[in-house]
Each structure stands twice: as C-alpha cells, then as structure tokens.
Amino acid sequence: MSYDAISGSGAIVCIHVATRRSPILRATRDEPLEEADSGWQFLCGASGHAASDAQVWRLDEVVAYDPSVRELLDEPPNKSFERNPVTYEWCEQEYKIEEAEQGDIPNA
C-alpha cells in the first residue's frame, strides 16, 4: 500500500523520539496487525525499549515531525532502514523478526 492509503494509520514511536530527546535513526515495517496499523516503527536506535516506552502516532504525524521518513513509506512490509547519524542518509538493513521479551517493543 502506498503512503497516501495509510497516512492516517498508526505507527509505533519510541519515547526518546516522541519526547524529542533523540532523532529517528531506525525505521522498520512489519506486517500490519489490523486495518488501523501501518506496521511501521520509528525508533531512536537504542535497544531494550519496554512496551511502556512506546507511543502510537498517526503516520502523517511522524512525517510532520521528520519529513525525511516520507521517502521510506511506500516500502512493503518486512523492511528495515537505519539512518547514519552524521549524514542522515537512510540505508536499507537486513529485516529480522526479533522475539520481544515480555513487555518489550519488538525489533527495538
């Protein structure tokens, strides 16, 4: 699905990005779980986020916060991207489904 079709769908944003303490450095798209889910997660790059560290934003809110992610949003599920913190260029990474510990954000 294209960004235009899912722009109002939900996306997971880690607390460090949501509170503007860290930029988005990792974007992963899993298979959406329901119609209101885009499948996207936007993270700061740190590991070990707890589920309580997540917020749900609309995808268009994420784009308003960081317009650079728009270039990724037409990608199909099962894709991961990381951004170089110096050049801010997005690079595709190997997609891995990581088993989350109880209470953790998957792929975080």
For residue range 7-43, list pLDDT tens digits in order. Answer: 999 999 999 999 998 999 999 999 999 999 999 999 9
Note the pLDDT of residue 18: 95
Predicted local confidence at residue 98, as pLDDT: 63
- pLDDT of amino acid 102: 43
pLDDT in tens, 43-76: 998 888 888 889 999 999 999 999 999 999 999 9
More confident residue, 1 or 30: 30
Prediction pTM value: 0.86
Burial 1-29 (b: 16+ CB within 10 A, else e): eebeebbebbbbbbbbbbeeebbbbbbbb
- Domain ranges in the chain are 3-93
